[in-house]
Amino acid sequence: MRRRLSYLGAAAVLAAAALLFGGTFRDGSPAGAPAGAAASGSTPFAGAAAFGRTTTRRVEQLQAKLQANPDDVRSLAELGLAYEQRARETGDPSYYSKAGGVLRRALTLAPHDLVATSGLASLALSRHRFREALGIGRTAHALGPQVAGPYALIGDALIELGRYQQAFRSFDTLAALKPGLTAYARVSYGRELLGKMPGAIQAMRMAAGAATSSAEPTAWTHWQLGKLYWATGRVGTAAHEYRAALAAFPGYVYALDALAQVEAARGRSTEAIALEQRAVDTIPLPQFVSTLGDLYSVTGRPRLAGKQYGLMDVIRRLLASNGVKTDLETAVFQVDHGIRPGQTLALARLAQRERPSIDGNDILAWALERNGRCGEALHYSQLALRLGTHDALKFFHRGMIERCLHRADARAWFGRALRLNPHFSLLWAPVAREALR
């Protein structure tokens, strides 16, 4: 794999080749930011208006063009992509349904349109329908074999399906065709998957350098860079990058959420809750709502925590009604919070079958451990760590499995998690510390 990924050859991609040695890629555009949902309703959220003002204007322009010419395939395809961006910017999954409608309309008029086909593949990825995304991505590739975009779509789907070497080959071609922010960010993620954290940071710095003058791509790369520092316990450096994201894009919600975790790590719970509340008020993504609940929980306010946790099922139903699969994310939340362990284990099994990645394997291992099925859990934990990924939460899960099996290795795994990132989880880092006393 590493030999294949180090070979690019052409002078035009020498910068990418330097990064590809020992690594691979992931989606590096702001458009790859996690999608989410509102706590209720299906209309855009007032707090998110400024966040996506440029996209809103673009949507209005395209809608006006289509009023004049309803069969304008290019405008239909571009409107579909703009709706997808609005879904990411507002957390409103109804935009996914709107996107699907106009993209399918475009393909009815022009069955071989590459932009509309690629838009449907991207939509399937956003909806966590990875096998569907892979099929549509391959159709897009057949329509434009020398176009870079379909290789990203195919590779992204393959990553989530746990087919890493195939994904790496797809991204190899992507970098050869179009080095830049998207390719460098995928290099960064690939190195992170392989446990090569210094190289991941180096590649994400190059992605930041390749970002356009637009605010959102710049903010996105600083946020991603901060996450890499956070994952290795460098709290101050991570905070610096998150603030750089906010300087580039004031109110950037992913940076607000990340800074909330920094403040919690520093013992500043009031500041952490205020930052997380700002993120939730702007775009109520599930991860923001869950974190706010956890902040209330660890600071002794169970009623307020329960109020936030109660929103999670509302969000899940809203996402599902707009075609988004949330099996894995729902299983993570329910396992962590002890909700219906037996049913959650069944959900985790389904999630792992649909998404047999290292993340799918890890959540199944964790659900099995919480249900006392630790021998089986060990198998899936080994699969989750097979790439050599340095992930403190996965190390903690392994420690809990080893402890359940009464194996001496448990302490080593807890220690490994805390050495990598002493603040890896509001809920579970204290458990790891207690286990080592």
Q: What are the tens digits of pLDDT across the range 70-84?
A: 999 999 999 999 999
Q: What is the pLDDT of residue 53?
A: 67
Tokens encoding 136? 């549509």
Say which residues have a Cβ less than 8 Å from residue 417's Cβ, sequence separation at least 6. 392, 393, 395, 396, 399, 424, 429, 432
Residue 91: CB atoms within 10 Å = 30
pLDDT band for position 182 (cuts 50, 70, 90)? confident
Closest CA to 224 of 185, 262, 257: 185
Q: Residue 20: pLDDT above 90?
A: no
Return the minimum-mean-pLDDT range out of 1-5, 168-172, 266-270: 1-5
Tokens encoding 45? 């959220």
pLDDT band for position 186 (cuts 50, 70, 90)? confident
> Could you tell me which residue, 20 or 62, shows the higher pLDDT?
62
Residue 210: CB atoms within 10 Å = 18
* Contact between 368 and 345 (Cβ < 8 Å): yes
Lookup result for tokens 């998690």: 417
* Contact between 73 and 110 (Cβ < 8 Å): yes
The most distant pair of C-alpha atoms in the chain lies apart, rounded to whole Å, by: 71
> Could you tell me which residue, 165 or 8, shows the higher pLDDT?
165
Q: Residue 356: pLDDT above 70?
A: yes
CATH class of the structural domain 2-325:
mainly alpha
* Residue pLDDT, tens place only, 231-257: 999 999 999 999 999 999 899 999 999
Residue 297: CB atoms within 10 Å = 18
pLDDT band for position 52 (cuts 50, 70, 90)? low
* Residue pLDDT, tens place only, 296-323: 999 999 999 999 999 999 999 999 999 9
How much is the average pLDDT of 118-133? 97
* Residue pLDDT, tens place only, 107-117: 999 999 999 99
Q: Residue 422: pLDDT above 50?
A: yes
pLDDT band for position 365 (cuts 50, 70, 90)? very high
Q: Where in the chain is the domain with CATH 1.25.40.10?
A: 2-325, 326-437
> Could you tell me which residue, 32 or 404, shows the higher pLDDT?
404
Q: At what angle do helices 392-404 and 374-384 cross, to 10 degrees?
A: 160
Distances from the Cα of 389 to the Cα of 319, 320, 398, angstroms: 30, 31, 13
Q: What's the fold here for domain 326-437?
A: 1.25.40
Burial 224-238 (b: 16+ CB within 10 A, else e): bbbbbbbbbbbbebb
Long-range CB contacts for residues 346-354, cutoff 8 Å, separation at least 24: 351/327, 352/328, 352/380, 354/130, 354/131, 354/325, 354/327, 354/328
| Mean pLDDT of all residues belonging to the chain | 87
